[in-house]
Amino acid sequence: MKREKASLGAPSTTLAAVTLALLMLLLTIACLGDGDQAAPTSTPTPTPLPAISIYADTALRTNAIAVVDGMIDDREVRAVDSPTDADLAVVMQRPAVGGTPLVVRYWVPVVDLPHPAEELTTAQLQEMVAGRLTTWQTITGQSTQVRLMVPSDIRVPLEQWWNSLQLASQAQVLPAAEIPAAFESSPGTLALLPLEAIDVSMRSLGVDGINIVSGAGDVSTYALTERAWVTIRQTEDVALSHLLGETAPKVATSLTQAPPDPIVLRAAGDFGLVRCTYAKQRDFGDFTRAFSQIGPWLAEADMTIGSSDFSISDAGEPFGCIETFSLLAPPQTVEGYVYAGIDLVTIAANHVKDCGQTGFCGDEPFFNTINNLRNAGIMTVGGGANLAEARKPGILTVKGVRFAFLGYDEIGTHVMAGPSTPGTAPLEEDYLREDIAAAKRQADVVIVMPQWGVEYTADPTLRQRAMAEVAVEAGADLIVGNGAHWVAAAEVIDDAFVAYALGNFVYDQDWSIPTQQGAVLEAIFHGVELKGIRYHPTRILDRHLVTFPGPAEAQQILDQIWDASALLD
């Protein structure tokens, strides 16, 4: 019995040992397993980069901060109240050291449209601003009192231009938006306005031969600029220094106002290279002679347009220097148009089917006129093979801006087009509204060229004024009328300019002084905006030669326009 018990007792001891060993092994494996799995750790929070501090004068602050904020993702952009506390500063006063200068705004001296002044010297403008030059006598020869108007934020530019010069105590300081209307009640007013506030209701003056609106002169040296300076703080932080070096030029670029790139349109009055004018050119053997003095100047414009009030055809024989109402000239006549750089003409005129000595030629002179002009690279509007074609716009593209031109006639009912007959586009309200709306879908600017009104008067009819209002309401930006054979009144309707007639540009109507006079209308566009107009008086000599008259006659022609315009109020 004892032995049996003894044999049974040995295995129990062994089992316990094995069990213990197994437990130790499991514990070891467990420990090894835990060692194979990385203990969870937390990612350390990176230290944020220091904020970039920005200072900008009030007028520029929002834009400057927005530019910097848009460029920098890993740093806070914080505005500070002093340039000395800023990493990057934009200031309107020249800093003592360094800084990148930039033009942030152009300022322009302006007068009302009839004012005779064309330009000032810097010294004259300074004297006016200071209140020491109180009349226009030394500039225009007129004793009109100078009335100075400035927007409320003019004082910083004054310090930049003329240091400590004080604004005249009698100057009116008022919001820029109110200044144009103030011209109407204040003859002789001189106003200083920022370029963006200039519109067609006022006329810009040049300063020392530079006109920032028209682009005349070297605009890079234009003095009346509002400037700012971009500075960056010197730092030993290499990354920040590099970042500021990249950011500052981009801030400067975003705030800089580039000088305008004007688009210049020159519009001439009635072209009638017929009768005595034709005979003169024929006898000289030169069909560019009528344009010889003024043609190169016309051609300098980005666009040159006119109103062709006769037929250009070999369907009939032209009359020479005799009195007749059949106005025809030979095809060589277009040589003068080309010499003068004419880009487009309206043929919506009552003489566009004339045959000269031949009598009745049907529609041949009309189609010849269109073909002769177009073959010479001159676009025609206002006439076509049918009414729909006559009403189509001609489109010229200059510097990326599309200009649509429409021509109409209210005088020559016998040459007007029908649905299936050739002729000119009638001046009707429905056509104006429909055609201008259609042109607006194809172009950025719409210019209407009507042949209308009553001959030999400077005063538009009630119908002319009503049609002008319709055209502007429909979207016209500029209306250049003709047909009176005199220079006539003008007016501004909303933001559009209306010239009711520009007189005879070239014609043989020498029985009166007004029929020998005209004016080229110069319209200045900045992009799609009409920024200004200017009349350039002309005079016809020897029944054919277009010239610029002397100062006294030029002023008389301008007075005829503006005196008639004053009666429209």
Residues 125 and 233 in one domain: yes
100 inside domain: yes
- Counting residues of the chain whose pLDDT is more than 90, the rounded percentage is 70
Task: Count other Cβ atoms within 10 Å, centred on residue 239.
Answer: 11
| pLDDT for 14 beyond 50 | no
Q: Which two tokens stand for residue 404?
A: 């649509």
At 26, is the pLDDT very low, low, confident or very high (cuts 50, 70, 90)? very low
Domain check: are 496 and 442 in the same one? Answer: yes
In the predicted structure, residue 74 carries a pLDDT above the cut 80 = no
Residue 496: which H helix or E strand, with range? strand 496-499
Q: Is 33 contained in some domain?
A: no
For residue 47, name the pLDDT band (cuts at 50, 70, 90).
Answer: low
Q: Pseudo-torsion of CA 328, 330, 334, 340, nearest 10°?
A: -70
Which range has the worst mean pLDDT, 209-218, 223-232, 317-326, 328-337?
Answer: 223-232
**Which whole number is the average pLDDT over 403-409?**
98
Q: Are residues 316 and 335 in the same domain?
A: yes
- What per-residue confidence (pLDDT) applies to 399? 98
Beta strands in 52-197 (DSSP E): 52-56, 77-79, 88-91, 100-112, 119-120, 147-150, 172-173, 189-194
Q: What is the CATH number of the domain that holds 131?
A: 3.40.190.10
List residues bridging with 397 in a β-sheet: 402
The first and second tokens of residue 317, run together, are: 């024989």
Q: How far is 222 from 210, CA to CA, in rounded Å?
A: 6
Element (H, E) at 560: helix 551-566
Q: Do 216 and 312 fall into the same domain? A: no
Count the helix, strand and coil residues of the chain and give each as a percent rounded to the nearest 5. Answer: 35, 25, 40
User: Are 491 and 498 contacting, i.e. CB atoms less than 8 angstroms apart?
Assistant: yes
Packing angle of the helix pair 429-442, 462-474 (nearest 10 deg) = 30
What DSSP element (H or E) covers 396?
strand 394-398
pLDDT in tens, 121-145: 999 999 999 999 999 999 999 899 9
Least confident of 168-172, 325-329, 516-520, 530-534: 168-172
Place of tokens 């007129």: 142
What is the phi/psi pair of residue 299, to 5°?
-70, -15
443 shares a domain with 357 = yes
Helical H runs in 81-154?
122-130, 137-140
Q: Is residue 34 part of a domain?
A: no
Q: What is the pLDDT of residues 410-440, one digit of tens each?
A: 999 999 999 999 999 999 999 999 999 999 9
Q: Do 92 and 160 lie in a common domain?
A: yes
**Distance from C-alpha of 88 to C-alpha of 52, rounded to nearest angstrom:** 8
* H or E element in which residue 30 lies: helix 2-36
251 and 267 inside one domain: no
**What would the pLDDT profile of 451-481 be if each residue is shown by its tens digit?**
999 999 999 999 999 999 999 999 999 999 9
Question: What is the pLDDT confidence band of residue 254, given thresholds at 50, 70 and 90?
Answer: confident
**Which residue stretches of 98-237 are H helix?**
122-130, 137-140, 155-162, 179-183
pLDDT of residue 43: 61
224/323 same-domain check:
no
Main-chain dihedrals φ then ψ at residue 250, nearest 5 degrees = -70, -35
Of the residues 224, 256, 288, which one is the last residue of a structural domain? 256
Q: Which domain holds residue 561?
A: 263-566
What total of structural domains would you count in the chain? 2
The verdict on 244 and 279 lying in the same domain is: no
Give the residues across from 569 on adjacent strands. Answer: none
Looking at 227, 256, 285, the residue that finishes a domain is: 256
Give the model confidence (pLDDT) of 210-244 as tens digits: 999 999 999 999 999 999 899 998 888 888 888 88
Within a domain: residue 396? yes
Closest CA to 427 of 383, 396, 385: 383
- Of the three residues 256, 284, 303, the one that is the final residue of a domain is 256
Contact assessment for residue 68 and residue 255, using Cβ atoms and an 8 Å cutoff: no
> Which of these ranges, 1-10, 12-21, 343-352, 456-465, has the smallest mean pLDDT?
1-10
pLDDT value at position 544? 97
Listing DSSP states for 523-555 in one string gives EEEETTEEEEEEEEEEEEETTTEEEPPPHHHHH
Asked if residue 447 and residue 513 are part of one domain, the reply reads yes
* Rounded CA separation 176/199 (Å): 12
The percent of residues above 70 in pLDDT, for the chain, comes to 92
In a domain, 40, yes or no: no
